[in-house]
């Protein structure tokens, strides 16, 4: 840690979620260094005051706390431990906050490898979609040692509104897997409900208004039912990424002999959508399958 009270922040991964999250950090911290595998994604952040990192190792060398937001376990592995990985630049006492969604077992393994070099690790997967990332209202599920989580909290608080420490390293990823299982069923339930209402010829705006404050209300009903009604699915959180997350959850379910029939059904729907070229659609596109099988335009 530097002698100043404000830590130097690094951010690796500037996709749909990461770029928005990094903008909040640039606004809140004096020194932020950013890097993305695809060149050009950092232009707006550099204009806003961020330093452009030459590599993950360079970001690590200029940071006390590094935040990672990439797609999957292999990408986290690469940006941390690859030939130009951040671990090469991080100093003892530094902290890594991984906001990616990966297996809790991989998170624990990476934490152990970093601990050998006296570098802390917190797994902090997020939920709330691109809207939450842009507004700084993400829900963040955190696993790690108490001291590391306390150090991470000011950083996480710039990006999220609900931050919950759930236990040791891996607990955040377990909770994210649970979140994705619940979402899978909720998306299908809302899609079926919206399709049933459309088949009945109801005013669906009124239907949603009547339901959203009741027992059937949910974030998906409030924020994604309109897309299902309109059969239009602009990107918020893409099908392909949710399917990746469900694979983690299904593996955990298999390892613990847990019945997740609805999540398995959602995974089969998502496989069908991806095979038909809809993997980049928002996750609300699960409604395409329900609409198709109900003889509505899809």
Tens-binned pLDDT, residue by residue, of the chain (298 aa): 443 469 999 999 999 899 999 999 999 999 999 999 988 899 999 999 999 999 999 999 999 999 999 999 999 999 999 999 999 999 999 999 999 999 999 999 999 999 999 999 999 999 998 899 999 999 999 999 999 999 999 999 999 999 999 999 999 999 999 999 999 999 999 999 999 999 999 999 999 999 999 999 999 999 999 999 999 999 888 999 999 999 999 999 999 999 999 999 999 999 999 999 999 999 999 999 999 999 998 8
Residue 181 sits in the same domain as residue 155 = no
β partners of residue 165: 142
End position of a domain, from candidates 168, 194, 221: 168
Specify the DSSP class assigned to residue 282: B
**Sign of the CA dihedral 182, 105, 99, 34?**
negative
Residue 160 sits in the same domain as residue 230 = no
Residue 130 sits in the same domain as residue 208 = no
End position of a domain, from candidates 147, 168, 189: 168
- Determine the Cα–Cα distance for residues 125 and 90; give it in Å rounded to an integer: 21
The answer to whether residue 298 sits within a structural domain is no
Residue 139 sits in the same domain as residue 103 = yes
Burial (CB count within 10 angstroms: exposed 0-12, middle 13-18, buried 19+), residue 104: buried
Burial (CB count within 10 angstroms: exposed 0-12, middle 13-18, buried 19+), residue 48: middle
Known catalytic membership, residue 176: yes
Look up residue 297 and give its two tokens. Answer: 């335009």
Residue ranges making up the domain that contains 66: 9-168
Please tell me the total count of domains within the chain.
2
* Catalytic member of 176, 199, 206, 238: 176
- Determine the Cα–Cα distance for residues 240 and 270; give it in Å rounded to an integer: 8
Residue 20 sits in the same domain as residue 79 = yes
> Do 101 and 245 contact (CB within 8 A), yes or no?
yes
CATH of the domain at 265: 1.10.1040.10
């Amino acid at each position: 840690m530097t002698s100043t009270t404000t830590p130097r922040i690094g951010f690796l991964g500037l996709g749909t979620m990461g770029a928005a999250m990094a903008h909040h950090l640039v606004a809140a911290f004096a020194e932020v260094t950013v890097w993305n595998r695809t060149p050009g994604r950092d232009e707006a952040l550099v204009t806003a005051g961020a330093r452009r990192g030459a590599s993950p190792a360079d970001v690590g060398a200029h940071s006390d706390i590094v935040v990672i937001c990439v797609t999957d376990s292999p990408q986290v592995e690469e940006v941390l431990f690859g030939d130009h990985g951040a671990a090469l630049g991080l100093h003892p006492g530094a902290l890594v906050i991984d906001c990616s969604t990966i297996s809790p077992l991989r998170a624990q393994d990476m934490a152990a490898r970093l601990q050998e070099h006296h570098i802390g690790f917190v797994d902090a997967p997020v939920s709330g979609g691109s809207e939450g990332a842009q507004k700084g209202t993400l829900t963040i599920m955190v696993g790690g040692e108490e001291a590391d989580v306390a150090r991470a909290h000011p950083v996480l608080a710039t990006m999220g509104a609900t931050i919950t420490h759930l236990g040791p390293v891996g607990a955040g990823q377990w909770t994210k897997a649970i979140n994705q299982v619940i979402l899978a069923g909720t998306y299908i339930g809302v899609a079926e409900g919206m399709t049933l209402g459309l088949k009945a010829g109801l005013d669906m705006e009124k239907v949603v208004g009547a339901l959203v404050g009741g027992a059937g209300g949910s974030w998906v009903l409030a924020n994604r039912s309109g897309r299902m009604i309109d059969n239009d699915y602009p990107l918020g959180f893409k099908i392909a990424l949710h399917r990746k997350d469900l694979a983690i959850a299904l593996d955990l379910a298999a390892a613990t002999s847990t019945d997740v029939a609805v999540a398995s059904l959602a995974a089969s729907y998502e496989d069908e959508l991806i095979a038909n070229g809809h993997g980049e659609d928002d996750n609300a596109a699960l409604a395409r399958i329900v609409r198709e099988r109900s003889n509505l335009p899809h």
